[in-house]
Structure 1
Amino acid sequence: MSVRTTRFVETAPGVRLWTETRGPADGTPLLLVMGAQASGLGWPEGLVERLAAHHRVIRYDHRDTGRSSWTFDQDPYRVTDLAEDVVAVLDGLGVERAHLVGMSLGGMLTQLVLADHPDRVLSATVFGTTALSTADLVHPDGTRTPVDRLPGIDPRLLEEWARPVEDLGEEAELDRRVRHWELLHGDGLPFDAEYFRALEREIIEHTGSYLPGTAHGRADHSGMLRTEALAANRVPTLVVSAPADPVFPPPHPQFLAQAIGGARLAEVPGLGHSLPPEVHGPLAEVVLSHTTAR
């Protein structure tokens, strides 16, 4: 029997995170870890429902997103604290071990949990991210590319991120978010502006405010490298290649698959740094082929 529940869990003093669980009550837990400044609703319904047909799926709002505690301005934290929140969510929900699926910053948080708390992870899937490693990318011909020579972020995104965000009202904020999604989407699939506008309206309603958060960009990003621990990884790990990703374009996925011990690589054609309906089925298929093989 499929059930859907929401509850808050305390992950640190004064910090409560909103969580949602759905799927079979006796299903194997699968925790979705979203990217920077993204609510758990960034995991779209179409994808969550597909995964919940096989797992007890958990999504949650990071600190300073959605309905969780917005505390950064009063009590600044490190990005590594967001990784500890992943474990604290499992603790708060009474989950000993779970499959983790992380996108973007969520993929980095997943790597931190893999390195620091491997006993809590049944399997890991990461995409739209890069390895927390100083190792070189080794090409098939044996040549090497240092990590600092891997392709960078699309200049159009850097230009967008450099613009000051002004409060011009909710509709203007929706316009800004849709413009941002179009850049993140990449060139692999047609962009449906109305789909992403509706998604952001839902997130704004869920949050109770249209004002954007900036805490994750201002948080301390130091202490995140885990080169040796990732190389020694023994947790089954899948890297999903997003060929149209403008943030971490190929060969970042290949770098990830090499840096994480035992990782394997699969591709979702057309996938960029967003989750439009066209990728829900293919992405769920590759994730489930990984998690249900355990």
Structure 2
Amino acid sequence: MQQFIDASTPGIRLWTEQRGPADAPPLLLVMGAQASGLGWPEPLVDALAAHHRVIRYDHRDTGRSSWPFEEQPYRIADLAADVVTVLDGLGIPRAHLVGLSLGGMLAQMTLADHPDRLISATLMGTSALSTTPYTRPDGTTVPVGELPGIAPEVLEMWARPVEDHGAEAEVERRVAHWRVLAGDLLPFDAGFFRALERRIIEHTGHYRVGTAHGRADVSGMLRTDALAGNRVPTLVIAAPAEPVFPPPHPQHIAQAVGNARLVEIPGMGHALPPAVHAPLAAAILAHTGAVPPAG
């Protein structure tokens, strides 16, 4: 079922889709920067929807949601507010929350600011919104600013200007982007990502490349103390091939966020190829299934 929800900013609408039994525990999927909700692959959504009322949505300036940034610039904090807006618009008091990349940061902001709205949280492909140093297994500490940065091949791709050579050329550019983000531990399935991006373009109605989230105001995102005191059961997914927030970023999150535990998905990078769907769904469902249902 598809439904549009009005955001807190007048004139902005958010596209949402629900799948699974209406009376099952709700689970909200939050995608990364400039990524449509269709970036959550169908097989993964279906696996989660066997046990949950799964909701995915398009951020502002993605997919079928409003594209307002040029006329109405917003903050990353406004994207975090949209998480609660989606729950409110669908009449959901509390939900399980799963966030990837920027979505993992929005999930952390929701954990800190609205813990009463969450049953559990799952964070992946992201970094801690915390100044707490990372403690290595040997007991030595690493300041947050000294944790590993984004892989050079990713930065190089992000620095390239995007030129319009038609829809198919844009699909191939996006596939090349996924190839770099996926890491080098699993075989790359170009056909899977090609089909994914064609569905996203069809869903969106155009193949323009959005840049709003990279230009949005990032001030006020840190939640060090609130995350340290978190009591919402939180799962952190460790991806050994992650090129954007490489290890030990997941280990750092698990230390900085209270009531968090770590599960590694073998071979996973900063992408969701078919090889990770089953183990990732199993990890998420084991986590959500171990949490008492919302009262």
TM (norm. structure 1) is 0.98
Match of 1:79 among 76, 79, 94: 76
Match of 2:115 among 115, 118, 124: 118
**d(CA) in 1 for partners of 2:185, 2:130:** 28
Shift of 1:192: 1.0
Does residue 229 of structure 2 align to residue 229 of structure 1? no
Shift of 1:166: 1.1
Corresponding residue number in structure 2 for 1:89:
86
Corresponding residue number in structure 2 for 1:197:
194
Match of 1:213 among 189, 207, 210: 210
Shift of 1:194: 1.2
1:19-65 deviations in Å (ceiling 9; x for gaps): 00010111000000000000000000000000000000000000000
Aligned CA-pair RMSD:
0.6
Match of 2:253 among 253, 256, 270: 256
Corresponding residue number in structure 1 for 2:127:
130
Equivalent residue letter for 1:8: F
Shift of 1:198: 0.7
1:79-119 deviations in Å (ceiling 9; x for gaps): 01000000000000000000000000000000000000000
Corresponding residue number in structure 2 for 1:56:
53
Corresponding residue number in structure 2 for 1:16:
13
**d(CA) in 2 for partners of 1:15, 1:120:** 23
**d(CA) in 1 for partners of 2:132, 2:167:** 44
Does residue 142 of structure 2 align to residue 145 of structure 1? yes
**d(CA) in 1 for partners of 2:190, 2:274:** 12
**d(CA) in 2 for partners of 1:188, 1:45:** 23
Shift of 1:167: 1.1
**d(CA) in 2 for partners of 1:162, 1:42:** 22
1:112-155 deviations in Å (ceiling 9; x for gaps): 00000000000000000010001100112210011111111010
Equivalent residue letter for 1:39: S
Shift of 1:289: 0.3
Equivalent residue letter for 2:271: S
1:167-182 alignment runs, 5 A limit? 167-182=164-179
**d(CA) in 1 for partners of 2:216, 2:75:** 5
**d(CA) in 2 for partners of 1:85, 1:8:** 12
Match of 1:265 among 248, 262, 266: 262
**d(CA) in 1 for partners of 2:65, 2:147:** 35
Moved over 6 A (4+): none
Does residue 29 of structure 2 align to residue 32 of structure 1? yes
Corresponding residue number in structure 1 for 2:282:
285
Q: Which runs of 5+ in 2 are unaligned?
A: none
Equivalent residue letter for 2:179: E
Shift of 1:11: 1.3
**d(CA) in 2 for partners of 1:160, 1:210:** 18
Match of 1:109 among 100, 106, 111: 106
1:220-278 deviations in Å (ceiling 9; x for gaps): 11110000000000000000101101001110000000000110000100110000111
**d(CA) in 2 for partners of 1:57, 1:293:** 17
Equivalent residue letter for 2:146: R
Query: Which deviates more from structure 2 when the two are superposed, residues 94-103 or residues 172-181?
Result: 172-181
Does residue 273 of structure 2 align to residue 276 of structure 1? yes
Corresponding residue number in structure 1 for 2:40:
43
**d(CA) in 1 for partners of 2:246, 2:290:** 28
Equivalent residue letter for 1:220: D
**d(CA) in 1 for partners of 2:260, 2:34:** 27
- What is the SS of the residue equivalent to 2:7? strand
